[in-house]
Amino acid sequence: MKIVVDFDKCESNAVCMGIAPEVFEVRDDDFLYILQEEPDESLRPKMEEAVRMCPKLAISIEG
């Protein structure tokens, strides 16, 4: 699976980071960074939760 973030929609509110800090990180510059674009399949439940919980619907999963 591949994690895709629409950075035009993303507000870097860190909800996804709270769900999966091993994949998402909001740094001191207030921008979201994807630490693992292709996380292990074992993280799929967390990725699906991050997609559902994103207030701006900026996260999607490919594959």
Predicted structure pTM score: 0.94
Each residue's pLDDT, cut to its tens digit, for the chain (63 residues) gives 999 999 999 999 999 999 999 999 999 999 999 999 999 999 999 999 999 999 999 999 999
CATH architecture of 2-62: 2-Layer Sandwich (3.30)
Q: Show me where the domains of the chain are located.
A: 2-62
**pLDDT score at 23:** 98
Give the pairing of strands 2-5 and 59-62: antiparallel
**pLDDT score at 40:** 97
**pLDDT score at 29:** 97
Q: Is 8 exposed, middle or buried (0-12, 13-18, 19+ CB in 10 A)?
A: exposed
